[in-house]
């Protein structure tokens, strides 16, 4: 028994001691609660004095143009938060009276709060005798990029934006234009021009952020934060970063935010940027290929950036291609190559650089031929130009709109496209809702045209109710529709002076065929095997007199046949076998005397 008793004592002794110690501790906390209550009331005051002194010092430093360190701001936030919790606890303790149960329940909170109070006071004391502010970021940072010096059109746009920056009624400015036209270059020059003015320019800080096709909000926030010398932690959420950015930007007297290459509208509140309508004097500039995006971003004024004129384009091409273009045997071809770039700075710089120093005429002829055939054989053209412009096409949301756009490349280069004619083509191909009446179809077609214009894929034509396709954009279209993978694979040979057609050009996978505005005199007298082709455009061939009966037999799915402006005298009987034909266009066929029934 003695052994058992001894064993029990040894087993129970330690737990009992721990239990007693815990009970004593809790009783001690309870008995000290009144003492701790008084200590909390007393010790909170030095912390609050310290906080108020630091805040006053910070305000003075901010007036001098400096900013608080992140850890100081965090300390002030914690001090404010602790004050609120202490006041709440003291109120509860005061109201508890002699309630032992409640005082026991709050006693542990008192102990923890006193420890936190001590730690916070010690941490804050370290700020008193050290620099508690960091230097402000530079007002403007130089951004490397090509100069627009000598480009009159771009310089005028730059001057216009500079004027808008001092116009109090304008808060948000959109800079629109097709890909590669020089939007980013323009605003980079604007930024650097403001950098030259430095003290004279009206903004306390100018922030540049580059976006991408897949709009990443956090990536934009980090760019802005880095520009403001604001540290961002990996674990910080977008919401948390947005709150901190907003708080930081509110301290700026006036800020200018430049958002380059915006593909989708951005919510400034979520981003963490004060609205310029509220933050007086601040402004936002954004560049985009989409006028719709500018509208959604509530821009007050949109500036359209257009292609360079002939003189400006040649000067830019000369800068990149070098003196070789001045050689007597090279210059005619160099000028033709430069013209094929359509005044598009991106195409001019890429093509010019690829031809730099090449003194063989054969190389220039080959480059010109490739550009005229819309074949990206020149180094850099496909990756840097064609694919860049294709992004605008890829961003179109509706497949029908994409098809409508690709139809435009069937027209010859530099064509003025009549909108009503284009809409009729679309309807005849089945690209518009067949349930709509004539007026509704016309309105829907006009809406699609406007959508393509807003995406900077179509341009305003020379005449009212007309549009045109930029030369390089047309090249990209032809490049896409000539691909074997394209759903709308097309044969485009319009406006290139052809006098005859080879049956070898016709593939069974073709969906659209265009020989518009050539000098074709006759068509192959054999069956073209194009069972999937829905469109055949032969308009504008003034010397074409005969349509062989066998020629149309292979176009079983044909919906559009355009012979307008030809000298065709009679139509073949095979025409009546085209059961899907919806549009037979015979405008200005003055020689036509016979139509099969």
Question: Which residues have a Cβ under 8 Å from the Cβ of 534 and sit 6 or more positions away?
Answer: 429, 430, 511, 512, 557, 558, 559, 560, 580
Kindly state whether residues 437 and 460 are assigned to the same domain.
Answer: yes
- The per-residue pLDDT for 1 is 52
- Residue 365 domain-assigned? no
Alpha carbon 246 to chain centroid, angstroms: 22
Residues 165 and 277 in one domain: yes
Q: Is the pLDDT of residue 277 over 80?
A: yes
Number of domains in the chain: 5
Q: Tell whether 295 and 164 lie within a shared domain.
A: yes
- Is residue 254 one of the residues assigned to a domain? yes
End-of-domain residue from the set 420, 454, 480: 480
The Cα–Cα gap between 306 and 455 comes to: 14
Residue 521 and residue 400 share a domain: no
pLDDT digits (tens, 9 = 90+) for 153-176: 899 999 999 999 999 999 999 999
DSSP letters, 131-165, are --EEPPPPS---------TT-HHHHHHHHHHHHHH
State pLDDT tens for residues 7-25: 545 555 555 454 445 444 4
Q: Which domain holds residue 454?
A: 373-480
Question: Is there a domain that residue 51 lies in?
Answer: yes
Q: Global pTM?
A: 0.78
For residue range 509-523, list pLDDT tens digits in order.
999 999 999 999 999
- Looking at 323, 358, 393, which one is the last position of a domain? 358
Number of neighbours of residue 451 by Cβ within 10 angstroms: 20
My answer on whether 156 and 286 are in the same domain is yes
Listing DSSP states for 108-130 in one string gives: HHHHHHHHHHHHHHHHHHHHHTS
CATH at 402: 1.10.10.10
Considering the domain architecture, whether residues 410 and 448 belong to the same structural domain is answered as yes
Residue 157 · residue 189 · CB < 8 Å? no
459-488 pLDDT, tens digit each: 999 999 999 999 999 999 999 998 767 788
Judge whether 142 lies within some domain: no
pLDDT of residue 17: 57
Say yes or no: 427 and 502 in one domain.
no
Question: Is residue 11 situated within a structural domain?
Answer: no
Reported as a single tens digit per residue, the pLDDT across 237-256 is: 999 999 999 999 998 889 99
- The CATH number that applies at residue 511 is 3.80.10.10
**Residue 331 located in a structural domain:** yes
Task: Please check whether residue 2 lies inside any domain of the structure.
Answer: no
Shared domain for 129 and 159, answered yes or no, is: no
For residues 173 and 276, membership in a common domain is answered with: yes
**Residue 367 within a domain:** no
Percent of the chain with pLDDT over 70: 90
Cβ-contact 380, 350 below 8 angstroms? yes
Output 67 or 275, whichever has higher pLDDT: 275
Same-domain pairing of 242 and 283: yes
Let me know whether 258 and 338 are in one domain: no
3-state secondary structure of 559: coil
pLDDT tens digits for range 531-566: 999 999 999 999 999 999 899 999 999 999 999 999
Two tokens, residue 227:
């520009």
Last residue of a domain, one of 280, 304, 328: 304
24-51 pLDDT per residue, tens: 444 454 456 677 778 878 888 888 888 8
For residues 300 and 314, state if they share a domain.
Answer: no
Helix H or strand E encompassing 537: strand 535-537
Query: Nearest-CA neighbor of 544 among 510, 507, 512, 501?
Result: 501
Q: Which of 561, 509, 550 is nearest to 532 (CA)?
A: 509
Q: What is the pLDDT of residues 100-125, one digit of tens each?
A: 565 666 677 778 888 888 888 888 88
Angle, alpha carbons 571-572-573 (nearest 5°): 120
Question: What is the DSSP code (8-state) at residue 432?
Answer: S
Distance CA 10, CA 141 (A): 76
Residue 61 three-state SS? helix
């Amino acid at each position: 028994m003695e052994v058992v008793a001894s064993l029990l004592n040894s087993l129970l002794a330690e737990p009992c001691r721990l239990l007693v110690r815990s009970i004593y501790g809790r009783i001690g906390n309870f008995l000290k609660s009144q003492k701790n209550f008084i200590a909390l009331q007393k010790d909170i005051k030095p912390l609050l004095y310290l906080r108020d002194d630091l805040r006053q010092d910070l305000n003075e430093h901010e007036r001098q143009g400096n900013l608080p360190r992140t850890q100081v701001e965090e300390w002030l936030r914690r001090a404010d938060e602790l004050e609120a919790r202490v006041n709440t606890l003291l109120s509860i303790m005061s109201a508890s009276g002699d309630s032992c149960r409640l005082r026991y329940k709050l006693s542990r909170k008192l102990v923890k709060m006193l420890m936190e109070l001590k730690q916070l006071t010690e941490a804050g004391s370290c700020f008193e005798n050290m620099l508690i502010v960091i230097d402000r970021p530079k007002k403007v940072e130089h951004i490397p990029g090509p100069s627009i010096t000598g480009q009159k059109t771009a310089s005028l746009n730059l001057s216009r934006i500079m004027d808008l920056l001092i116009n109090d009624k304008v808060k948000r400015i959109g800079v629109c234009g097709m890909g590669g036209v020089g939007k980013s270059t323009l605003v980079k020059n604007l930024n650097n021009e403001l950098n030259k003015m430095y003290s004279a320019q009206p903004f306390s800080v100018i922030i540049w952020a580059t976006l991408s096709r897949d709009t990443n909000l956090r990536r934009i926030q980090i760019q802005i934060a880095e520009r403001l010398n604001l540290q961002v932690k990996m674990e910080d959420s977008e919401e948390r970063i947005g709150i901190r950015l907003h708080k930081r930007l509110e301290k700026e007297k006036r800020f200018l935010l430049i958002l380059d290459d915006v593909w989708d509208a951005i919510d400034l509140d979520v981003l963490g940027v004060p609205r310029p309508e509220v933050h007086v004097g601040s402004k936002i500039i954004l560049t985009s290929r989409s006028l719709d995006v500018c509208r959604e971003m509530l821009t007050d004024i949109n500036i359209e950036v257009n292609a360079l004129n002939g003189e400006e384009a040649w000067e830019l091409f000369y800068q990149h291609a070098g003196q070789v273009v001045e050689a007597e045997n090279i210059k005619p071809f160099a000028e033709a190559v430069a013209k094929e770039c359509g005044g598009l700075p991106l195409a001019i710089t890429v093509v010019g650089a690829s031809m730099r120093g090449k003194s063989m005429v054969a190389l220039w002829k080959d480059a010109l031929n490739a550009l005229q055939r819309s074949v990206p054989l020149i180094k850099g053209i496909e990756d840097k130009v064609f694919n860049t412009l294709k992004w605008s096409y890829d961003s179109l949301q509706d497949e029908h709109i994409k098809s409508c756009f690709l139809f435009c490349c069937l027209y010859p280069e530099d064509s003025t496209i009549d909108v009503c004619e284009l809409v009729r083509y679309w309807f005849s191909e089945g690209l518009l809702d067949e349930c709509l009446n004539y007026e509704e179809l016309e309105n829907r077609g006009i809406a699609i045209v406007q959508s393509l214009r807003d995406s900077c894929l179509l341009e305003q034509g020379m005449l009212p109710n007309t549009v045109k396709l930029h030369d390089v954009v047309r090249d990209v279209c032809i490049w896409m529709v000539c691909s074997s993978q394209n759903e709308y694979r097309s044969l485009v040979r319009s406006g290139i002076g052809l006098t005859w057609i080879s049956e070898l050009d016709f593939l069974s996978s073709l969906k659209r065929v265009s020989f518009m505005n050539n000098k074709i005199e006759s068509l192959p007298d054999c069956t073209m095997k194009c069972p999937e082709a829905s469109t055949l455009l032969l308009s504008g061939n003034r010397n074409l007199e005969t349509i062989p009966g066998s020629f149309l037999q292979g176009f079983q799915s044909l919906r559009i046949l355009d012979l307008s402006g030809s000298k065709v005298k009679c139509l073949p009987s095979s025409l009546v076998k085209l059961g899907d034909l919806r549009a037979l266009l015979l405008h200005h066929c003055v020689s036509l005397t016979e139509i099969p029934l």
